[in-house]
Structure 1
Amino acid sequence: MAKRVLFALFTIAFGAFAGAFAWGFFFLMNTGIALLWEAAPNALAAQGLPAVFYPLVFCTVGGVVIGLFAKKFGPYPADMNTVMASVKQTGRYEYDHMGASFFGALLPLLFGGSIGPEAGMTGVIAGLCTWVGDRLRFVGAEMRELAEASCAAVIAAIFATPLFGLMVPAVGAADDSDGPRRISEVRLDVAKPLKIAVYVLAVAGALGAMALLGHWFGASGGLPRFSEIAFGASELAWALPLMAVGTAAGWLYFPAGAAARALATRLGDRPVAKAVMAGALLGAVGTALPFALFAGEAQTEQLALIWTTVSAGMLLATGFAKVIVTQFCLNLGWRGGHFFPLIFAGIALGYGLATLTGIDPVFALCAVTGALMGAVMRQPLMTAVLLFLVFPLAGAPVLLVAAALGSLVPVPHRWLGK
């Protein structure tokens, strides 16, 4: 009994650390972005120097830095599914490259990469959990559950969705630039009720730490949440066309990935050349479409305030461009995840279509984003659970139908990179 209580306390502590780590990572990322993307261009403008091509120059320089980093330290961080697959299969994740995983995840985000932060954070937390487990032998066979629970905790903290954090380690989340895949199930060594309890304790610790740090120092990271949605005759009439556009954008993710992998293969074992190519493309697109840069958290909040002042064409171009740019970043060495940028792509498309149709914007966002993410993730229920971090629960029917329709669109096997 005492061992179980002690293990529960360790689980809560690890969960809290995972939440604090996620908050700190977002804080560093946002502080660095503010310095590099706001203060620096403003200083240039004050000196009378043009800042219009700043994205092109800075993203290309970022490609050089990221490429040199990869050349020296290797391809870190690993993607989220790779980390969790290792944990599920072996009960551990090797921790000899935690520093490389941390900085490898942070650098692309600082240079404006259209990628998400989840890959690096998951690897660092799993590695740290394994490191502690190697020094606390009394934890024994339950170390596997603690490592998995820590992954669940950091995922819940990143996405601010407890249910998604609990579900991802169990079923996988297609967090792979090569296309949808699931983590293979392995036999567990502890009873299912204990496993559920461990997950819940870890996620509660993570979200509690995030909430406390946000209360004391201000919120750090995460997508904003839309609180209201309207259903009417106009919205229902436009539902299927909206979902069709979102599905098309999600489908585009796969040929874009195939093209990016073909370019990566052509460039061969030249990490600097690959990263510079991705940076130049990202910077060129970002010069014309500024919202195509970054993961999308802060940009979603900004767009929610100004979307009525942006043309529908610009919004639609941003959404489709972001889907393509994300794949080129991921496959040419700007390592990270795809969840945040693709959610933002759906939001940009939804606002563009709301401008054209005049319907409720949140309904449009739900329909388009649900279909886009459903087409990419191929798991409608997981898609809906993930998108609850952004959209109200009242939008659940729209999200589920859109995700289901998106997941039905076939994707040629040659585009999946298997």
Structure 2
Amino acid sequence: METTKLANRTLFVLAVIVTGAVAGAFVWALLFAMNLGITFIWSNLGSRFGIYFPLAACLVGGLVIGLFTKRFGPYPEDLNEVMAKVKRDGRYDYDKLGSLSVAALLPLFFGGSVGPEAGLTGAVAGICTWVGDRMKRFGADFQKLTEVGTMAALSAIFTAPLFGFAAPLYGNGDGDGDDREGKGGSTITLPKNGKIVVYFCAIAGALGAFMGLGALFGGGLSLPRFTDIHVGATELAWLVPLALIGALGGWLFCVFDGLFEKAASKMGDRPVVKALIAGLVLASVGILLPFTMFAGETQAEQLGEVWTTMGAAALLATGFAKVAVTPLCIRFGWRGGHFFPVIFSGIAIGYGMAALTGADPVFCLCACTAALVGGVMRQPLMAVLLLFLCFPVKGVVVMFLAAALGAAVPLPKAFRPAERKRAAAAGSEHGSGEDPGNDGGKPAGN
């Protein structure tokens, strides 16, 4: 009996490492495809046209995205929705992985101000569920592969192991989701020490595959990594004002997100019209402020090279414009994640404040970005763990204080996440009873 149990445990750990590696490899593959598509459209084709190419590209993109949504449904789901389903059900449906992957790439190809994390996480969660379903005869623990693989995918996408480790536990009432039952009624029995080992193995497998493939073939995400930060009297004097500016960005993001969500709801099932509107606005803003387009990871590197040649007004306008454009894209059909665009917005605002104040640029970036991300996530610790992917550990105190201030700024009641969830739940109860964010792939209306 003990021999069988040990064999199953060993097989499970090996499966976890392989699952993590598969998750990392899949993330790399989709990001590699994303880079190929962006290069073809914006470098090969875009170089042959003038400054108004974004208008043509974004309108074509809006048409393609709208028609795709009309045919296959509103995919991909938001990262929070994916994580909620994984935590609630212990699984994620994998019958539409192809549609999910294409839907994740389309907004990125056409310059959408969204990140890839939502579509990537949903696709990886589906793959891991498929693997777990075929290995569950070896024990109930194999149904844990969906959560483990999702966490590994987050670690690979953000190259932030601590964020990937904490994300699956985030939001549970007791901080530990292992005591809940999956869809099949099987309770996960991994002890806490064993869970830590399992998560470590998954992260190692994901990062190993992701970074190994990136080293061999290129690709991946390239947010800049800032290593030097100076904290002197000038910087400390500007800490609160910098954090307040960043917090304003986070507050505006939440308000814009709520307003655009309501506007999209009032427009009804018109995916083509909504996607075209988003494309038109995205292109118009992008022609005036080019850095507002795309997810923001490459643009952050480019901005770091040229920010000293730009005025503070242009930098601040870029950051705050992206705060508005990203939720517009997401709510009007250019679905994707918001983490990378939000981080870029904070970086742009931070550079603008550095130009205005003369304070250390990296200090300004840490304070503004942490406050903005904290204001969006409403969880300072999670914001800091996420920002370790680009900011130095030496800035942890600055980031935590700024993120705490950003999260503390109150939102209007109608725009608070809990209130919006209750409103959505009430709306679905009075409607068809289906999840308004996912119609199961049924074609939308005209």
State the TM-score, normalizing by the size of structure 2.
Answer: 0.88
Compute the displacement of 1:339 (Å): 0.3
Contact 1:88 1:144 in 2 (8 A): no
2:297: which partner in 1?
297
Compute the displacement of 1:185 (Å): 4.7
Contact 1:267 1:273 in 2 (8 A): no
Contact 1:81 1:183 in 2 (8 A): no
Contact 1:89 1:186 in 2 (8 A): no
1:95: which partner in 2?
94
With over 3 angstroms needed to count, the CA separation of the structure-2 counterparts of 1:172 and 1:223, relative to structure 1, is farther
For residues 321 and 27 of structure 2, the distance between their equivalents in structure 1, rounded to whole angstroms, comes to 28
For residues 354 and 138 of structure 2, the distance between their equivalents in structure 1, rounded to whole angstroms, comes to 54
CA deviations over 1:60-97 (Å, ceiling 9, x no partner): 21111101000000011111222222222222111111
Compute the displacement of 1:357 (Å): 1.1
Which aligned pairs between 1:65-104 and structure 2 lie closer than 5 A? 65-104=64-103
Contact 1:224 1:300 in 2 (8 A): yes
Contact 2:8 2:139 in 1 (8 A): no
With over 3 angstroms needed to count, the CA separation of the structure-2 counterparts of 1:322 and 1:397, relative to structure 1, is same
- Of residues 353-362 and 341-350 in structure 1, the stretch that sits farther from structure 2 once superposed is 353-362
CA deviations over 1:21-46 (Å, ceiling 9, x no partner): 111111111121111111112123xx
1:42: which partner in 2?
47
Compute the displacement of 1:186 (Å): 6.2
Could you list the runs of 4 or more consecutive aligned residues of structure 1 that deviate by over 4 angstroms after TM superposition?
Answer: 181-186
2:321: which partner in 1?
321
Contact 1:87 1:144 in 2 (8 A): no
Contact 1:27 1:221 in 2 (8 A): no
2:108: which partner in 1?
109
1:138: which partner in 2?
137
With over 3 angstroms needed to count, the CA separation of the structure-2 counterparts of 1:307 and 1:206, relative to structure 1, is same
For residues 234 and 211 of structure 1, the distance between their equivalents in structure 2, rounded to whole angstroms, comes to 39
Q: Secondary structure at the match of 2:167?
A: helix
Compute the displacement of 1:133 (Å): 2.1
Which aligned pairs between 1:207-286 and structure 2 lie closer than 5 A? 207-286=207-286
Compute the displacement of 1:365 (Å): 0.2
Q: Which amino acid aligns with 1:313?
A: A
Contact 2:169 2:176 in 1 (8 A): no
1:369: which partner in 2?
369
Contact 2:152 2:206 in 1 (8 A): yes
Q: Please, which runs of 5 or more residues in structure 2 have no aligned partner?
A: 1-5, 181-187, 422-446
Contact 2:133 2:143 in 1 (8 A): no
2:312: which partner in 1?
312
Aligned residues: 405
For residues 249 and 277 of structure 2, the distance between their equivalents in structure 1, rounded to whole angstroms, comes to 23
2:23: which partner in 1?
18
1:408 aligns with 2:408: yes
Compute the displacement of 1:182 (Å): 12
Contact 1:16 1:202 in 2 (8 A): yes
Q: Secondary structure at the match of 1:96?
A: coil
1:352: which partner in 2?
352
Q: Please, which runs of 5 or more residues in structure 1 have no aligned partner?
A: 45-50, 174-180
For residues 362 and 160 of structure 1, the distance between their equivalents in structure 2, rounded to whole angstroms, comes to 20
Compute the displacement of 1:17 (Å): 1.0
Q: Secondary structure at the match of 2:130?
A: helix
Identity %: 54
